[in-house]
Amino acid sequence: WIQRQNMNSNNRIPVSFEFFPTKTEAGHEKLIAAAHVLAEQKPEFFSVTYGAGGSTRDRTLNTVLQLDQQVKIPTAPHLSCVGDSKEELRKLLDQYREAGIRRIVALRGDLPSGMGRASGELRYANELVEFIREETGDHFIIEVAAYPEAHPQARNFEEDLQNFVRKAKAGADSAITQLFFNADCYFHFVDRVRKAGVDIPIVPGIMPITNYSGLARFADSCGAEIPRWIRKQLESYGDDTASITAFGTEVVSDMCRRLIDGGAPSLHFYTMNQAESSLAILRNL
């Protein structure tokens, strides 16, 4: 019996969980309750998203500190550079460093429509990674985003791949992928990144399926394809949420098994602030 390389000492795949900061107190309480449940899985880390342009600056900061200090799971803030000045970014980095935060997810971000053109001083995520390294040296583990199906604004796959390589060379330690529902695109991407001479871990971002129309809209907006056979099946369930969730959990669990068998270093779950959908997948693994 040989311990597989991508398993931890409990022979389980390492995991991390992502949350988004909520606007309401009730939403925040649900997030914290979900985090307590997911903490039992002993994740490597939690992460908390950031509204580009600083729309969630304080809420992201407060949620990160609460998860880190009260739920006691190391928590990584996401930080995006479009719409934030270097001074604003510097201040946030200082706050996180002083609070003992050691990991950060560095992104370009997308300004919400209506916020006009990007007003930040840094245009792309590779510039943000460089900036974080200049300002804070090796203090933070830096995660960046990866796009197995190419970023929606990329002119082509090759250019996007080269832009990913820039982020790694600028000092990123690890990457988390955009959601996808096709394991082959992940393996192809990892293979191409390795051939380009980059060896940082590339962690699949896993989106549990719990509804159809919202997921289809979101997947479209970030350039992730829902294969036709999955779409057709989900569509056929209409409003039957139980069937959507049962089928979705089966499909995503199967994909996760393939990813683990193929050597994915860990799994990062887009929890949507709910514990159960990620747990259902983990129970199947």
What is the pattern of x (binds ligand FAD, CB under 6 A) and - over residues 32-71?
A: -----------------xx-x-------------------
3-state DSSP of the chain: CCCCCCCCCCCCCCEEEEECCCCCHHHHHHHHHHHHHHHCCCCCEEEECCCCCCCCHHHHHHHHHHHHHHHCCCEEEEEECCCCCHHHHHHHHHHHHHCCCCEEEEECCCCCCCCCCCCCCCCCHHHHHHHHHHHHCCCCEEEEEECCCCCCCCCCHHHHHHHHHHHHHCCCCEEEEEECCCHHHHHHHHHHHHHCCCCCCEEEEECCCCCCHHHHHHHHHCCCCCCHHHHHHHHHCCCCHHHHHHHHHHHHHHHHHHHHHCCCCCEEEECCCCCHHHHHHHHHC
Among 14, 43, 171, 205, binds ligand FAD (CB under 6 A): 205
Residue 130 in contact with ligand FAD, rule: CB under 6 A = no
CB of 122 to ligand FAD, least distance (A): 9
Select from 27-35, 162-170, 187-195, 232-240 the region that touches ligand FAD (CB under 6 A): 162-170
Q: Which is nearer to ligand FAD, 179 or 234 (CB)?
A: 179
Contact flag: residue 124 with ligand FAD (CB under 6 A): yes
Our answer to whether residue 88 is catalytic in this structure is no
Class of residue 275 by CB neighbours under 10 A (exposed 0-12, middle 13-18, buried 19+): buried
Comparing CB distances to ligand FAD, the nearer of 51 and 248 is 51
109 binds ligand FAD (CB under 6 A): yes
**Nearest distance from residue 260's CB to ligand FAD, in Å?**
19
Q: Applying CB under 6 A, does 253 fall inside the site for ligand FAD?
A: no
Q: Beta partners for 75? A: 46
178 binds ligand FAD (CB under 6 A): yes
Question: What part of residues 89-108 is at the interface with ligand FAD (CB under 6 A)?
Answer: 105, 107-108
For ligand FAD, which residue of 163, 211, 233, 243 counts as binding (CB under 6 A)? Answer: 163
Question: How far is Cα 64 from Cα 101, in angstroms, rounded to an integer?
Answer: 9
Binding residues for ligand FAD, rule CB under 6 A, total 25
Q: Left (φ > 0), alpha (ψ -120 to 50) or beta: where does 62 sit?
A: alpha
Shortest Cβ distance from residue 243 to ligand FAD (Å)? 29
Residue 273 touching ligand FAD (CB under 6 A): no
* Part of the chain binding ligand FAD (CB under 6 A), chosen from 163-171, 240-248, 259-267, 271-279: 163-171
Name the residues that contact ligand FAD, by CB under 6 A: 49-50, 52, 78, 80, 105, 107-110, 124-126, 145, 151, 153-154, 159-160, 163, 166-167, 176, 178, 205
Catalytic residue numbers read: 18
